[in-house]
Amino acid sequence: MARRIGFIGAGRIVEAMLTALGPTIGYGNISVWNRTPARGQRLAKEFGITPESDLASLIAASDWLLLAVKPHAVAEVLPVLATTCPPDRLLVSMAAGIPVDSLRAWFPHPPQVVRIMPNLPLSIGSGTTAVCAHASVPQEIVEEVRALFATAGIARIVEERLFDTVTALSGSGPAFAFLFIESLADGAVLNGMSRELAYEFAAQTVLGAARIILSSDRHPGELKDIVASPAGTTMAGIHSLERKAFRSIVMDAVDAAAKRSRELGH
């Protein structure tokens, strides 16, 4: 049975999900509501989905409701949801830092609640999505949600206690990777390469390294050792990175993002 899915919010991640998941869901089965109507209407026109003028209309038109507003806006949306959303709906939340039980506490008669954390590469079919659910949600529904997001990358069932870590690692991680690629390219530009070529080489290098890890059972450290020959150029570069505590800097970035995700839930 085709699910009718209503998006609460129309930000960039919703646009990415419409691009990636729309063909699987069927654009005719998708509705959207946004606090700023113009944004929702623009997405509706671009993707051929239905814009709704209010949340009540979206709820009535949908089997699944995908909560995709920023964490600070969740408190503005939930009071309306709590009074209009019947318990037979599925609420799929991607609000960072907000646990399933906190969401359910808003409802006198809670709907089924699944929590997800997708990321931006979903838009090109290379996403990473974590999925967890309240114990009351049937396993076949949880699997249906996971399978939907698996059509645009990998989707895994993850314990909710790890969701702040997931938010930091795969949610924020693309921005860290973009920064690293930009820095690699800047180093090449410093040494005379054109910026266009430097970005291409840097991005392809990171993409290739990632693919080797995903297609191999070798530890990343072992793969690093294959490239880093004794007294060679790679070891000189690694020595420079380690002198400046490269690993600790990256670990601290993930830890800081995870801590911020936990803060958003309070």
User: What confidence category does residue 151 fall into, taking pLDDT thresholds of 50, 70 and 90?
Assistant: very high
The pLDDT score that the predictor gives to residue 264 is 81
CATH label of the domain that carries residue 206: 1.10.3730.10
- Based on the domain organization, do 145 and 182 belong to the same domain? no
CA distance 202 to 9: 34
**What is the mean predicted confidence (pLDDT) over 196-202?**
98
pLDDT, one tens digit per residue, over 54-96 is 999 999 999 999 999 887 888 889 998 999 999 999 999 998 8
CA distance 259 to 85: 31
Please give the mean pLDDT across all residues of the chain.
94
- Based on the domain organization, do 64 and 149 belong to the same domain? yes
Q: Identify each DSSP E strand in the chain by its residue range.
A: 5-8, 30-33, 50-51, 64-67, 90-93, 112-117, 127-133, 153-157
Q: Say whether pLDDT at 4 is over 90.
A: yes
User: Which of the listed residues 144, 164, 184 is the one where a domain comes to its end?
Assistant: 164
Q: SS3 helix, strand, coil % of the chain, rounded to 5?
A: 60, 15, 25
Is the whole-model pTM more than 0.95?
Answer: no
The whole-angstrom distance between residue 171's C-alpha and the CA centroid of its chain comes to 5
User: What confidence category does residue 266 fall into, taking pLDDT thresholds of 50, 70 and 90?
Assistant: low
The pLDDT score that the predictor gives to residue 97 is 86
- Based on the domain organization, do 225 and 181 belong to the same domain? yes
Q: What are phi and psi of 31, to 5 degrees?
A: -125, 160
- Based on the domain organization, do 58 and 160 belong to the same domain? yes
The pLDDT score that the predictor gives to residue 73 is 84
Q: Which domain holds residue 179?
A: 173-264
| Packed helices 195-215 and 173-190: angle between N→C axes, nearest 10 degrees | 130
In the chain, the largest separation of any two C-alpha atoms, in whole Å, equals 67
